[in-house]
Structure 1
Amino acid sequence: MKLKIGSKVKGKITGIQPYGAFVDIGSHKQGLIHISECHQGFVKDIHDYLKVNQEVEALVLDIDEYTGKISLSLRDTDLDSENSEAAAKHKVYWTNRTYHTGFKPISERRPKWKTEALRSLNSRNWS
């Protein structure tokens, strides 16, 4: 199976650590869903969302060209595959030595992050 950033993969969770879940995606390959990528918003305990042996469909966020590590996300799997591939092509995770983007990706995403944070704060009951 040829993996590329933006493709969807199916797999089974083989282990859970406080920082994320390991997923067997076949062909003797394993990916990691970081705790921040297992659900929209803040995740206090990953066990609230994922269990060992659970089947998942995840989006390939990054493939480190040096170590072969595969980063996966459950956050963007609700997008259709055409849009998710197009969106993932624009994500740069600083593991490719040919891209020199600096802080541009962060500054482009900042307004959306701010909106999400404010929405999260407003939805909490602070009384």
Structure 2
Amino acid sequence: MSIEVGSKLQGKVTGITNFGAFVELPEGSTGLVHISEVADTYVKDINEHLKVGDQVEVKVMNVEKDGKIGLSIKKAKAKEETPQRPRNNNTNNRRNFERKNTENFEQKMARFLKDSEDRLSSLKRNTESKRGGRGARRG
């Protein structure tokens, strides 16, 4: 069985670097799972997701002429198997999320403009006082 782009294979993690993990495939070939292809969420430290010796299912993304094999763990998972991001129990975040989903476009736009104007006025106040502009204290 040759390794073809798009096929899903079982492999064993043989090495981990700061940019990805090397996976040994059937027939002894080795491919690389780039750190961006490990999980659906941002991966800062690959060691939190994989360890040497782990059995993983990978999807072959590309096979280069020089024999390099590009693999993906996140694309090997079916959509329904993909774990959801853990919910934050912070009540304020949940309220903000629910509020944003129930607002129509005009409400979102009005909220955005108000927040933007508040930030701009605050920024103006802080920069003018540093430059000695209107109303800045001197002495």
TM-score, normalised relative to structure 2: 0.55
* Counterpart-to-counterpart distance in 2, 1:13 and 1:78: 17
Could you tell me which runs of 5 or more consecutive residues in structure 1 were left unpaired when the two chains were aligned: 81-119
> Which structure has more helix as a fraction of its residues?
2
Match of 1:59 in 2: 59
* Counterpart-to-counterpart distance in 1, 2:9 and 2:76: 10
C-alpha RMSD of matched pairs (Å): 2.1
Tell which has more relative contact order, 1 or 2 (C-alpha 8 A, sep 6+): 1
Q: Which amino acid aligns with 2:76?
A: T
**1:7: Cα distance to partner?**
0.2
* Counterpart-to-counterpart distance in 2, 1:9 and 1:70: 12
* Counterpart-to-counterpart distance in 2, 1:35 and 1:78: 16
Match of 2:48 in 1: 48
**1:3: Cα distance to partner?**
1.1
Match of 1:5 in 2: 5
Match of 1:32 in 2: 32
Question: Identity, % of aligned pairs?
Answer: 42
Q: Which amino acid aligns with 1:70?
A: I
Runs of 4+ in 1 over 6 A off after TM superposition: none
**Matched position secondary structure for 1:47:** helix
Match of 1:99 in 2: none
Render the CA deviation track for 1:37-72: whole Å, top value 9, x for unaligned. 0001211000000000000010000101x2110000
> Which structure has more strand as a fraction of its residues?
1
Match of 2:16 in 1: 16
Could you tell me which runs of 5 or more consecutive residues in structure 2 were left unpaired when the two chains were aligned: 80-84, 94-139
